[in-house]
Amino acid sequence: MHFLFAWRYFKSKKSTNAINIIAWTSIAAMIIGTMALILVLSVFNGFEGLVKSLYSTFYTDIKVSASAGKSIIVSPEQLQKLKGLSSVKNFSLVVEEKALVQNGENQSVIYLKGVDENYRYVTGVADNLWNGEYDIGDEEVPKLILGVGVEGALGIVADRNIFSLKIYLPRKSSSEQINPLEDISNDTIRTSAAFQIQQDFDNKYGITNIDFMKKSLKLGENDFTAVEISAKDPTESKELQKAVQQIFGEGYLVQDKYQQNQSLYSVMNTERWVIYGVLCLILVVAAFNMIGALTMLVLEKQKDISVLNALGANRSFVQRVFLSEGMLLALVGGGIGMLLALLIAWLQIKYHLIPLAGGSFLIDYFPVKLRLMDFILVGSTVFVIALIASWLPSRKAATQDFSLRSE
C-alpha cells in the first residue's frame, strides 16, 4: 500500500515546479552515476582480461621454484610422479639467469631462460613470434629467441642476423673475489627468432636451450631453476597446486598464476576499487538532490499526511511511504542507467566505436567485458545510497504533527 502512495506522488504533478526539477535532477544524476560505474568497471574488466591473457601466454598455470636461493633439485622420482598426475597437461624444466648479451657496441642485460623441448607446449611463446621460427638449438649449437624489445636494443633483426652475439653468464661461486675465467661464462650464440607478447617480457627476456645453460653455469644433472607446469583444466589449478606441493614437499615454492604475478593483480584490483569510490561521488551528489526533493515533497504533502493520520495510518506507514518514494527515484535512475550502460557496452563490443589513442597497443579500441557481479555491486550501491538519502526526510515526515485546519 505504501508503495502505491509513493507511485502516485512520483507521477503526480507537483504544485511547486522546483520539486519536479530537483527530483528529475536526482534521477539524471543516478542515471549518469550508474551508467558511468558500470561502463568504467566493464572497461577495467576488459583491460584486466587482456593483461591476464598476455601474462598467461608467458606464465604457466603452476610454477615450482626455490623457496630460498635460486636453484632447486628435481629428482627423476619427482618427475615421474608429476607425469602421473592426470590433471597435468605438460611441464617444462627451466634454468633462468641474468645474462649480458652483446652485439658490437650494443648490449643488453636480459633474463635468459634455458628451456627444454616441452616449453613450447606449456607457454604461448611459440605462437607469438614476431619473426623467425621457434628454434632453441642444442647444447653445442644453441639458438636464442629474443623479445622484440631486446632485439631492438641490440640493433638486429633476429631471423636475419648472420653474426653471432656474445653472451656472458655469471656462475655460482663460493669465493668472495670474482675470477673472470672461472666465475663468468663467455660464449657466442646465434638468434633464430623474436617474440612479441607484452612489454614486460619483450624488453627483458631471451629463450635458449637448457643444456647449453646448464653447461655454461656448470650445474648438476638435477639442478634447475624452476619447473613450469601446464594444467589440462586451468580452472582446477588450485587442486593441481596442492598435488604438486605434495610431490615436491615444503622446501619448494609452488605458485599458481595469481601468486606469480601477485603485485600486478593487487595493483589492478586497487585501481578498480579507487575508481569505483571516485565515481560513487556522482551518486552521492544525486543523494543530496534526492534529500532536497523529498524534503520539499514532505512539506507539500502536509495535508495528505494529516489525512493519513486521521484515517489511522501510523508513523511507520508514513515513513515507509517516503522511503518508497526515494527507492522509486533510485529504481528509475538506476534502471535506466543500467540499460544505457548495457546498450553502450554492447555497441562497443560489436562495433568498437571508441578507439584507443595512439597506435602502439595490441588492440585499437577500448576492450569491454560485462559481468553480472558489477551490475549487482552497482545496484546494491545505488540502493544503499538511496536508502540513506531517503531516511532523513521520511523520518521527518513521520515525526511531525500536521493539522488539516489551514493556518
Q: Which residue has the higher pLDDT, 181 or 372?
A: 372
Query: Taking 60 as the threshold, does the pLDDT of residue 9 lie above it?
Result: no
Question: Dmax of the chain from CA atoms?
Answer: 106
Amino acid at residue number 146 = L
Q: CA 251 to CA 254: how far, in whole Å?
A: 10
Query: What's the confidence (pLDDT) of residue 322?
Result: 74
Q: Which residue has the higher pLDDT, 148 or 22?
A: 148
Residues 6+ apart with CB under 8 A from 115: 92, 93, 94, 136, 207, 208, 209, 210
The region that residue 400 occupies, defined by phi over 0 for left and psi between -120 and 50 for alpha, beta otherwise, is: beta
Query: Taking 80 as the threshold, does the pLDDT of residue 176 lie above it?
Result: no
Nearest by Cα to 212 from 289, 131, 143, 286: 143
Amino acid at residue number 192 = S
Average pLDDT of the chain?
86
Lowest-pLDDT choice from 73-77, 355-359, 376-380: 355-359
Q: CA 323 to CA 317: how far, in whole Å?
A: 10
Main-chain dihedrals φ then ψ at residue 9, nearest 5 degrees: -65, -35
Q: What mean pLDDT is predicted for residues 193-217? A: 95
User: 105 and 156 in contact (C-beta within 8 Å)?
Assistant: no
Lowest-pLDDT choice from 147-156, 205-214, 307-316: 307-316
Query: What's the confidence (pLDDT) of residue 171?
Result: 80
DSSP state of 234: G
Query: What's the confidence (pLDDT) of residue 407?
Result: 46
Cα distances (angstroms) measured from residue 302 to each of 18, 271, 297, 387? 17, 47, 9, 22
Q: Can you give the pTM of this predicted structure? A: 0.78
DSSP state of 136: -
